[in-house]
Structure 1
Amino acid sequence: MPATPQGWVSDFAGIMSNETKAQISDLCTSIEKATGAEIAVVTVPSLEGMVVEEYAVKLFKEWGIGKKGKDNGVLFLIAPNERKTRIEVGYGLEPVITDGRAGDIIRETVLPFFRAGDYDQGILQGSMRIAALISGKDFVPSVPIPSSEPQTDAAPWPVKVGMILFFALFITLGFLALGSSLRRKGQSFFRIWGAGFGGIPLVMSIVFALMMGFPVYILPAWALFMLVIGMRYGKKFARSGLFSGGSFSAGGRTYSSSGSSSGGFSGGSSFGGFSGGSSGGGGASGSW
């Protein structure tokens, strides 16, 4: 881990042009003069076996980024060889650069450039957006941000259908049991069991459908249908012994109705070191 910074910008990985480093240094100087906040932009050749979050916290503490007592520092860390980046925020700036906003900067501004192989613009535009949040100004990128790479469909249709059928099995058993128990007295166990056995997979299936672009309404409609079937034919189920008092077997387990179951910074354009600030542990990370 580098013992001392090279300036506002410390390009230990050697991935930035001199022009970009000068632009970011001027930006950091102007932010420090206007607000007192200190921004450190750092690239490293290796995270030395640490996860990016751990490395960022240790480097932030080692260098003392931000004013002591105000903790108004920000570390923008890039590890190109591990393809990791992190925005680490001092306590004093956490209300301004929230975890969500830091994540937006990485996802929307930094990573598109990194994926396009343009480290200079990714770091520059990311630094500009950090500075805009600190100064309370709107961020306007100085160059167009590359469009995100099209995401491939990680789950083919057979997998999606298989998952839907898997959830449907639990929903069917759970809501049949729930519907059957609602029409009969003394079936509180099956009411609770049915609501949980069918309800939890139902919620999971909705989340799955939203993530995978599958129609959301299919399994909720199926659950309602099974509930009605259970209520309508509950007595027949009871006579057949499917959902009756005593015990019920599913998945190799037996359930009973009893409920049991088996440095200081000097003003001006020159960099004189950071001022002893602390990290609040907030921020966001990304990879490409």
Structure 2
Amino acid sequence: MKKLLLALLIAFLLLWITPFRVQAKVWPQPQGHVNDFAQLFTPEFIQQLEVKLVDFKAQTSIEIAIATIVSLEEDTVENAAVEIFEQWGIGQKDKDNGILLLIAKEDRKIKIEVGYGLESVINDAVAGRIIRDEMASAFKQDNYEQGVLLAVEALIARLETGSGKVLDSVYQAGATWPAGFILLVCLFIYVFAFLSRSKSFYAGGVVGGFLGLAYRVMAGSSFFMIIIFILTGLFLDWLFSQNYKKLKKAGKSTSWRSSWGGFSSKHSNTSSGGFGGFSGGSSGGGGASGGW
């Protein structure tokens, strides 16, 4: 009886422990937004699509990744998509605004995996429709490039105009600041870089007043904006002048090109070379799968 109970206990423990010993497959690291491990695309197409996705990320911060694999190796396309998405970290970490388009060649399966931050725009129905309408028919004719390009264009179009929840904040951010105001801010910095060399900071208030008046004429702002420009001019002139004096006393460079009138600039060592990876986003479990 004791042996029987011991055998049952061991069997129970094995059943309990085994699932936790199963590890997710380690997928190859991404080499860019387009990762053609199954060799379905031409180099020219990969470059064209990479440029499109990089530009879209620069405009919106949304990361769209393409991955083609030869086989799922008895796994499901849904599980493989989640694993790749999490291992690559597609999308911004604080926004989860990534999308993965996974294609398994031999299994003839497709999965559009969507980050949580985009599920309200690319919901399951939208993702499923893109697979059926844009990809499946082209894939049946072995035209993988056309199917993927149509899918990417459909995703981008939906993200740009679909529900208006994703890109409004991106495009309207610039619209809330009139071009005239931005121009005056740049002029502010340029002028105060030279005013910093003067002994008095009152000139900054005068310059600020003139710029405030110019802004009122261009943008039709209230008289209160002139006061703000004057106070800002006084403060900036004083701030730049103080820092200029400190650098000059320390024997450091105070030239316009190297220090912006007293504020030394740090030169970045970042190059625009190879792909630096995605941004740490997570999958929301949304999207759709299909086949051809």
Name the TM-score, length of structure 1 as normaliser.
0.53
Distance 2:271 2:85 in 1: 21
From 4, 7, 12, the counterpart of 2:37: 12
| More moved, 276-285 vs 21-30 | 21-30
CA contact (8 A) 1:33 1:267 kept: no
| Equivalences, count | 161
Distance 1:83 1:268 in 2: 36
Pick closer, same or farther for the CA change 1:96–1:117 going to 2, 3 Å.
same
Letter in 1 for 2:284: G
From 265, 273, 276, the counterpart of 2:280: 276
From 32, 51, 67, the counterpart of 2:57: 32
Alignment correspondent of 2:102: 77
Matches within 5 A, 1:189-268: none
Q: What secondary structure, in the 3-state scheme, does the structure 1 residue paired with 2:278 have?
A: coil
- The superposition leaves residues 48-103 of structure 1 with CA deviations (integer Å, 9 ceiling, x where unpaired) of 22110011011101111000010000000000110001000000011111110001
CA contact (8 A) 1:31 1:135 kept: no
In the TM superposition, residue 2 of structure 1 has moved relative to its aligned partner by 2.4
Matches within 5 A, 1:61-210: 61-136=86-161
CA contact (8 A) 2:81 2:111 kept: yes
* Structure 2 unmatched ranges of 5 or more: 1-25, 164-269
Q: What secondary structure, in the 3-state scheme, does the structure 1 residue paired with 2:100 have?
A: strand
Larger relative helix fraction = 2
CA contact (8 A) 1:35 1:135 kept: no
CA contact (8 A) 1:3 1:62 kept: no
CA contact (8 A) 1:20 1:120 kept: yes
Post-superposition, which runs of at least 4 consecutive aligned residues in structure 1 deviate over 6 A?
266-269
In the TM superposition, residue 29 of structure 1 has moved relative to its aligned partner by 0.7
- The superposition leaves residues 197-245 of structure 1 with CA deviations (integer Å, 9 ceiling, x where unpaired) of xxxxxxxxxxxxxxxxxxxxxxxxxxxxxxxxxxxxxxxxxxxxxxxxx
Distance 1:46 1:130 in 2: 25
Pick closer, same or farther for the CA change 1:61–1:21 going to 2, 3 Å.
same
Q: What secondary structure, in the 3-state scheme, does the structure 2 residue paired with 1:54 have?
A: helix
Q: What secondary structure, in the 3-state scheme, does the structure 1 residue paired with 2:102 have?
A: strand
Distance 1:29 1:267 in 2: 16
Pick closer, same or farther for the CA change 1:117–1:59 going to 2, 3 Å.
same
Letter in 1 for 2:286: G
In the TM superposition, residue 6 of structure 1 has moved relative to its aligned partner by 1.4
Q: What secondary structure, in the 3-state scheme, does the structure 2 residue paired with 1:71 have?
A: coil
Name the TM-score, length of structure 2 as normaliser.
0.53
RMSD (CA atoms): 2.0
